[in-house]
Amino acid sequence: MLVMNKVKKLKGVVTVPGDKSISHRAIMFTALSEGRSTILNFLESEDCLNTKKAFLQMGIKFTSRGKALIVYGKGLHGLKASVKPIDCGNSGTTMRLISGILAGQEFTSILTGDKYLRRRPMKRVITPLRSMGAKIEAVHDELAPLKIYGGYLQGIEYTLPVASAQVKSCILLAGLYADGKTSVIEPVSTRDHTEKMLAYLGANIKKQGRKATVQGNIGLQGKKIIVPGDISSAAFLLVAASIIPGSRILIRKVGINPTRNGIITILQKMGARIKVKNKRNFGAEPVADLEVRYAALRGITVTGKIIPNIIDEIPVLAVAAALARGKTVIRGAKELRVKETDRIKSMASQLKKMGAKIEERKDGLAIYGSAILQGAIVDSFGDHRTAMSLAIAAMTAEGQTVIKDTACINTSFPGFEKLLRKISAW
């Protein structure tokens, strides 16, 4: 559990851990590349380490040199069958993306995970992979464990019924092994780290609007990859500094990919004082330093195309809204119901315990701001983003807050509590 108390202000210069989405992809894509690759600022979290472990089981060698992770890639067809099921832990990214890779192999694999991951929907990747020719067995035809019989794949054009970067990436990775071209059309744009990194490593991949197309059977070449700081992790600090009077912090080397930086846009619309400084690129990814100061926030309506861009940040955005002046409405975020937990339900129920005025809706939340939060005993339900969002709320609450089941924080933000205490004044 995590025990939190109210703080006076936040002050300091910090960095956040490497981007989780990019770290996953860096391991997978360099393992499929020819030759040696170097990954800097790889996120040593449980989720990303599960991805690394999966490729160790399939014969990929890794070494460390200082802060660099060296990956000895074996090309598209160099993987070997794992002698035991691949345990993805709590990581939906690991399971969904690796499913696309394994569908094109010449061996059979089993993917499993913890009790939370085994409840998450996998039919969204099973359906398009089967249309490419893959043979996949699943519990109730939808849930893990997944048994994937690798083999011949045919390129397809697939329109996603629900915007999902994980599903898009799964199909594009399968497309690396398919005959012909494979295209994915999104209803709205989602994070494009897969497209950027595959292009950087030499894939023949093109993006036209909301359509991404990859040519099959073209190899990748190993390179150096620098992982930016994770903007989803930075979001907790952006909100914390915005709602705690007297705060001012600088977060260095944060990824500001346009398909991921919606949290900055939304907070600025709420009145946040966030400055984007020192813009540069780490390979194909844009990076900047973010300066944030306390500001009196106001409620807004959040809906439409920006929702996929901020889907992971909505839990902590709900905390900002609870402290803002006026009403905030979040719509079109039904995807939150099938994350590590039902984040709509968990954030509504637990913030209510702390005194927030919040209504759970079918596809989002209505939050009536200006709450004075009180310390309480709350539960993360094993969800890292719920746990960290409640911790940020606790920093503004009167009295002590106890957050149960917080080991999950290590899935994305190891050192979270230590960093908060470093920049906090009581």
Looking at the predicted structure, is the pLDDT value of residue 321 above 90?
A: yes
pLDDT tens-digit readout, 367-400:
999 999 999 999 999 999 999 999 999 999 999 9
pLDDT tens-digit readout, 81-95:
999 999 999 999 999
pLDDT tens-digit readout, 116-156:
999 999 999 999 999 999 999 999 999 999 999 999 999 99
3-state SS, the chain, equals CEEEECCCEEEEEEECCECHHHHHHHHHHHHCEEEEEEEECCCCCHHHHHHHHHHHHCCCEEEEECCEEEEEEECCCCCCCCCCCEECCCCHHHHHHHHHHHCCCCCEEEEECCCCHHHCCCHHHHHHHHHCCCEEEEECCCEEEEEEECCCCECCEEECCCCCHHHHHHHHHHHCCCECEEEEECCCCCCCHHHHHHHHCCCCEEEECCEEEEECCCCEECCEEECCECHHHHHHHHHHHHHCCCCEEEEEEEECCCCCCHHHHHHHHCCCEEEEEEEEEECCEEEEEEEEECCCCECCEECHHHHHHHCCCHHHHHHHHHHCECEEEECCCHHHHHCCCCHHHHHHHHHHHCCCEEEEECCEEEEECCCCCECCEEECCCCHHHHHHHHHHHCCCECEEEEECCHHHHHCCCCHHHHHHHHEEC
pLDDT tens-digit readout, 401-416:
999 999 999 999 999 9
Q: What is the mean pLDDT of the chain?
A: 97
Looking at the predicted structure, is the pLDDT value of residue 426 above 90?
A: no
Catalytic amino acids? 312
**pTM confidence score:** 0.94
**pLDDT at site 369:** 97
**pLDDT at site 127:** 98
Q: Spell out the domains of the chain, with CATH numbers in brackets.
A: 2-18+228-425 (3.65.10.10), 20-226 (3.65.10.10)
